[in-house]
Structure 1
Amino acid sequence: MQRITYKTSELLEMIGVSRDALRYYENQGILKPKQDERNHYRQYRDKDIYTLLVTDFYKKRSLSLKDIKKLQEGTEMEELESLLQIKEEELVRKISRDRFMLQKLRETKSFCKDIEKHLNKYSIREFPMYQVVGNFSNFYSFPEYPTILEHLDMIKDDILSKIIRQFTFDKDGLLDSKMYIVNRQKHDTGNKAEHDLNYKKCIYTVVEDSRFQGGTNDIKQKLFKSTLEWAEINGFKPKGLAFVQTRLITYIENDEKVFLEVYIPVDN
């Protein structure tokens, strides 16, 4: 006599579906197996297995169980095409976000790898191009942070990377500081706007800040002592500006360490 039902353990062996997944599909109304009246074991029929195959087919095309259940209830071809189009657009956006995040991850990994090479050491480097899109008074002026959110893609951007602190100074020390909200520019369009930050030659270094970003004493020491001494020895004349951005936060033996990139534009 031909067998027409299967046990849960047999489905796992035949098509690789887990016990938890079967229960979940059942709870969502996708699957409706019969139960043996004697022992209450679930009994799966051929049509149940086919339903699982169809469910897997559409899950691999980014459809949710809610979408699949709706398909089971009856869907015109035009509706299916429209649903697939929506899922395609969602997936394209996700891929774009994931690529952006992958790039940021690689940049941070590269910074980790090279940090010892630049920590408290100096070199000449071009300042990355940034467009200033806003400003606020102080790092700790958190009630002003909604201004940052206006220029933030909440899925792709983090707040720390949208902030650059600018110091102005002279030979006697620090004069002033500003907090800029910035967008990183990928390419030089040749049309430098008034609020663009773009300096071809800068003294570059990495410093370790105190516990909270903006610990001015540590930054001041790095910027206005050893950095300026290095500039004088190597024949560079600072423009009186310094740009600082948080690049890495880590914790070693419960001690927070914040690493900052510093760019000090110099005259050619």
Structure 2
Amino acid sequence: MQYKKYKIGAMARLLGMSTEGLRYYEESGIITPKKQEDSKYRYYDVWDIHILVRARAYRRLGFSLQDVYAIINSQEDIDISQLLTEREKEIQAKIVYNINLLRRSRQIRAMYQDAQSMINQYRLEDCPGVYRINTQNKSNLISDPAVRLCAREWIEMVPFVFSSGLFPREEIEKGGEHYNLGFGIEEEYASYLKVAENEYVKYHPARLCVYTVLPSSSDVALTTARLSGALEYMQRHNLKLIDNAFSMLINFHKQADTYRNLHRVWLPVEY
């Protein structure tokens, strides 16, 4: 049976594709347009349309081009149901990831909006439970290979991971300058990300804290001494510092040659 032939431009318009997209499938061996002997043109027919629709369906389901080629050009029946079962597991994992990603995006937006009214202001609130790892003593990276390996693994988990400072209680109380920098993950994502406390990862539980938002820059770092305003707030409200403070970096940008940051800070207290 003779089928009507279509040039590449007409075929592309019919399918809503670019000519480059058609060539992409052709070069992958998924479609094989006929070449007319007396011209340089390639011609497609209705079978190519149906092959492309099926190929694009498989691609939308997440199959690689190699998989699509194997399915369409197989000389034997392939168990599509088994292939789809495997793909469904991957799709489900992506759904779970995207649900968590959406929740995290909403949290970051809410944090940023709240932070604008809390710069150098103080209030009592429960901090989130947080897992932390220290990667720096002040500006010096910790050289322990295990710490660096853990840090690399955590960086792969952004945006659930945030930059975080740790301010030792004794340094705060004596007005010292020592602090640590590293990364944190909120407790609600720990199970999903398979994060647990170990030799390097420390857990900071949710509890009553003095909360504030403090700016810093490459010229004026967020050091332990910068928490003096929180200590004054504690004195006025008869509160006692009971543990190390920690921070969460929520904004970072470069202005001219200066880096400017915004930090949420929690100091654990009791009456």
Report the TM-score range of the alignment, normalised by the length of the smaller protein: 0.7 to 0.9
Cα offset, 1:182, TM superposition: 5.0
Corresponding residue number in structure 1 for 2:112: 112
Aligned-residue CA RMSD in angstroms? 3.2
Give 2:204's match in structure 1, choosing from 173, 197, 206: 197
Q: Deviations over 1:80-131 (max 9, x none)?
A: 2221122111112222222222222222222222221111111111121124
Corresponding residue number in structure 2 for 1:210: 217
For the 8 Å contact 2:166–2:244, the answer to whether it is kept is no
Shift of the 252–98 alpha-carbon distance from structure 1 to 2, 3 Å rule, reads farther
Corresponding residue number in structure 1 for 2:265: 262
Cα offset, 1:61, TM superposition: 2.1
Matched position secondary structure for 1:174: coil
Gaps of 5+ in 2: 190-196
TM-score (norm: length of structure 1) = 0.80
For the 8 Å contact 1:168–1:175, the answer to whether it is kept is no
How far apart, CA to CA, are the structure 1 residues paired with 2:145 and 2:217? 22
Q: Deviations over 1:148-180 (max 9, x none)?
A: 643745653469627451322354312754567
How far apart, CA to CA, are the structure 2 residues paired with 1:116 and 1:137? 28
Deviation larger for 113-122 or 35-44: 35-44
How far apart, CA to CA, are the structure 2 residues paired with 1:83 and 1:232? 65
TM-score (norm: length of structure 2) = 0.79
How far apart, CA to CA, are the structure 2 residues paired with 1:210 and 1:252? 10
How far apart, CA to CA, are the structure 2 residues paired with 1:21 and 1:263? 53
Corresponding residue number in structure 1 for 2:166: 165
For the 8 Å contact 1:130–1:196, the answer to whether it is kept is yes
Gaps of 5+ in 1: 188-192
Matched position secondary structure for 2:176: strand
Identity percentage of aligned residues: 22
Cα offset, 1:66, TM superposition: 1.2
How far apart, CA to CA, are the structure 2 residues paired with 1:11 and 1:221? 69
Corresponding residue number in structure 1 for 2:193: none
Shift of the 88–199 alpha-carbon distance from structure 1 to 2, 3 Å rule, reads closer
Cα offset, 1:181, TM superposition: 6.0
Corresponding residue number in structure 2 for 1:156: 157
* 1:138 aligns to 2:140 (yes or no): no
Residue identity matched to 2:209: C
Corresponding residue number in structure 2 for 1:236: 239
Corresponding residue number in structure 2 for 1:190: none
